Amino acid sequence: MESLPIEPGPDDRAALEQAVSAFIERFIDARADAPVFHGAADPELVERLLTPPTEAGGPIGPLLELVTQAVDTGFDTASGRFLSYIPSGALYSAALGTYLGAAINRYTAGSHAAPGMVAIEESVIRWMTSLFGFGDGAGGVLLSGGSLANLTAVLTARSRLGERFDDGVVYTSERTHHSMTKGAWIAGIASDRVRLIPTDGRLRMDPAALDAAMDSDVAGGLQPMMVAATAGTTDTGAIDPLDRCADLAATHGAWFHVDAAYGGFFQLTDRGHARLAGIERADSITVDAHKSLFLPFGIGGLVVRNVEHLVDAHEGRGAYMQDVVDGDLPHYLSMGPELTRPNRGLPLWLALNLHGVDAFRRTLDAMLDLAEDAAARLGELPGVELITEPELSVVAFRSTDGDTATARIQQALNDSGRIHVSSTTINDRLWIRLALLSQRTTASIVDEALDLIKAATGRTC
Ligand SMILES: Cc1ncc(COP(=O)(O)O)c(C=O)c1O
C-alpha cells in the first residue's frame, strides 16, 4: 500500500476521518464499563511503541490498533470511575473544538493575525473575568494549565518590583499545589523568600500566621511581594480565607493571587459562589478548564484584575515582528511566556455554547451533592474517619486502624479495576481522596466506591 500523501485528497481525508471517529465512538461507548486501571504496560508493548517512525509510512488501521493497546495501560482519566488526583471530564464537544482549531490552525498569539479567533477566545476570557467580579481593565490568557498560570502569576507579581527582586517574599500555605512553589523557583525567587504558612484545623491558610510572617519580614527589611491563596486545595479541596488574605495583601501592598485551578468554576454554583467569597478581590486567578469545566487536558488560564500588569510583565518583541498591528483586541503573545500557541479558545467556546453555561453549573452542583453524600456515608462507616467536611468535591478519609489499613483500602479499590483513587499525606498520616469532578461520575459509581470501601474496612455495621 502506498503511503499517505503529505497533503491528502478528499477520499483519503474521508477514510482517515471515518477510521478515527469509529475509534472514538467505540472508545466513548466502552467507558462506562471499561476497567479504570490497567496497571503497568507490558514491556513488549512498550518496546513496540518505542519503535521509531517508519521511512515509508503505512495505513491507519494498524496504527489505531497500537493506539488501542496504548490506551489500555495505566489509568483511565477519561472514565467517570477515575476519582484520583483532580479528574478531567474529557468533554467530547471540546475534543471536537480542539480538532477544529488544529485543522484551522490560525495564529492566535497576535490579534492582527487572527482577529476572529482571538475575539472567540476573548469572549471566553471576558466571561471568566465577569464570573469573578472583575470590572473594566480586566483580562487574561489561556495557558496549558494551572502550572503555567501560577508561574505567569508569579512573574507578574515579581515584575512590579522591577529587575531586582531579592527582597520580595511570596506567601502561600503549606498545602499549596507544588506548581506554586515551583513557579516561584522558576521565576528566580530563592527558597528563603517563600513562606509556607501553616494551616488551621480545616487545612486552610491560617491568617494570623500569615499576618505574623508578613510583619516579621517587613521588620527584617524584606518586602511582601505576593500572597498566593488556594481556592480548592488538591489534597482536600480546602479554600483559604480569601477575604482575610486579601486584607493582608492589601495592607502590605502585595499582589493577591488565588490558585483556583481546581475550585474556580464552582463559582458558577450558589454554594461555590458563597464559599469562594473574596475571590473577587484577587489581582490574579488561576483557573483550569481541564478541571472544573471538564475539558480535555491542556486548557487552563490566568485572569487578572488589571491586564496592564500582565502585559508589563510579558511584553517583548523582535524586529521580525515589526508588522504586528496593535488594535482593540489583545495580543496573547504579550500576556504570558508563550508565543506560538494552540487554539485553546475554540474548544472552550464551543463546549460552553453547545451545552450552555447552565449545564456546567448543574454538573458542578451535582458534584457538590455527590461529595456531601459520600462524606455523610463515609462518616457513618465504622473504622473510617474524614479529615474534614468537604468544602468542594474532594472527600479525604482514612482507616482509624492506621496507615497500613488505609493503604489496604486504597489497594482494594484500585485492584478492583472499577474505581481508581489516589492518596496524600497530611500531618504524617495517609489519607485516601475521592475526587468527584467528571460529568461521567454518577451516584452509582460513588455507591460502588462506598461498597468497596465498606468491604475493605473488614468491619460490619
Ligand atoms: C490547586 C492546583 N493548582 C495547580 C495545579 C496544576 O495544574 P496543571 O496540572 O494543569 O498544571 C493543580 C493540579 O492538579 C491543582 O490542583
Do residue 290 and residue 405 come from a single domain?
no
Q: Indicate which residue's Cα is closest to atom 16 of ligand 1.
A: 234
> What is the domain-level CATH number for residue 403?
3.90.1150.10
Number of structural domains found in the chain? 2
The Å distance, Cα 318 to ligand 1 centre, comes to 32
Do residue 285 and residue 361 come from a single domain?
no
Grouping H, G, I as helix, E, B as strand and the rest as coil, residue 256 is strand
Q: Indicate which residue's Cα is closest to atom 4 of ligand 1.
A: 146
Q: Which of 319, 324, 261, 309 is nearest to 128 (CA)?
A: 261
Q: What residues does 259 pair with on adjacent strands?
A: 230, 286
pLDDT at 40: 84
Do residue 251 and residue 400 come from a single domain?
no
Q: Is residue 286 part of a domain?
A: yes
Mutate to test the pocket of ligand 1, among 236, 291, 297, 438 (most ligand atoms within 8 A of CB): 291
Do residue 347 and residue 387 come from a single domain?
no
Grouping H, G, I as helix, E, B as strand and the rest as coil, residue 143 is strand
Q: What is the pLDDT of residues 338-388, one digit of tens each?
A: 999 999 999 999 999 999 999 999 999 999 999 999 999 999 999 999 999
- In 3-state terms the chain splits into helix, strand, coil percentages (rounded to 5) of 45, 15, 40
pLDDT at 461: 46
85 CA: nearest ligand 1 atom:
14
115 with 128: CB under 8 angstroms?
A: no
290 CA: nearest ligand 1 atom:
10
The Å distance, Cα 292 to ligand 1 centre, comes to 11
Helix (H) or strand (E) holding 95: helix 92-104
Q: What is the pLDDT of residues 298-341, one digit of tens each?
A: 999 999 999 999 999 999 999 999 999 999 999 999 999 999 99
Give the Cα separation of 110 and 289 in Å (integer): 22
Kindly report the backbone phi and psi dihedral angles of residue 268, in degrees, each rounded to the nearest multiple of 5, phi listed first.
-65, -25
- Residue where one domain finishes, among candidates 355, 386, 413: 355
> What is the domain-level CATH number for residue 286?
3.40.640.10
Do residue 341 and residue 362 come from a single domain?
no
Do residue 225 and residue 248 come from a single domain?
yes
pTM of this structure: 0.97
Separation in Å, CA 66 to CA 63, 216, 316: 5, 59, 43
Give the Cα separation of 195 and 171 in Å (integer): 5
* Structural domain boundaries enclosing 261: 98-355
Separation in Å, CA 233 to CA 164, 172, 174, 208, 261: 31, 12, 10, 19, 9
Do residue 302 and residue 372 come from a single domain?
no
176 CA: nearest ligand 1 atom:
1
Do residue 236 and residue 370 come from a single domain?
no
Q: Is residue 76 part of a domain?
A: no
Q: What residues does 279 pair with on adjacent strands?
A: none
Do residue 338 and residue 401 come from a single domain?
no
148 CA: nearest ligand 1 atom:
11
243 with 270: CB under 8 angstroms?
A: no
The Å distance, Cα 229 to ligand 1 centre, comes to 13
Cα 194 off chain centre by? 23
pLDDT at 1: 58
Other C-beta atoms within 10 Å of 255: how many?
Answer: 25
Do residue 158 and residue 293 come from a single domain?
yes
313: left (phi over 0), alpha (psi -120 to 50) or beta: alpha
The Å distance, Cα 287 to ligand 1 centre, comes to 9
Crossing angle, helix 10-30 and helix 92-104, to 10 degrees?
160
Tell me whether strands 300-304 and 284-288 are parallel, antiparallel or unpaired. antiparallel
Q: Which of 179, 183, 129, 182 is nearest to 158 (CA)?
A: 183
Positions in the chain whose pLDDT score sits under 70: 1, 459-461
Give the Cα separation of 158 and 183 in Å (integer): 11
Do residue 233 and residue 370 come from a single domain?
no
Do residue 128 and residue 171 come from a single domain?
yes
Q: Is residue 126 part of a domain?
A: yes
Pocket (CB within 6 angstroms of ligand 1): 86, 145-147, 150, 177, 179, 230, 234, 259, 261-262, 288, 300
pLDDT at 32: 87
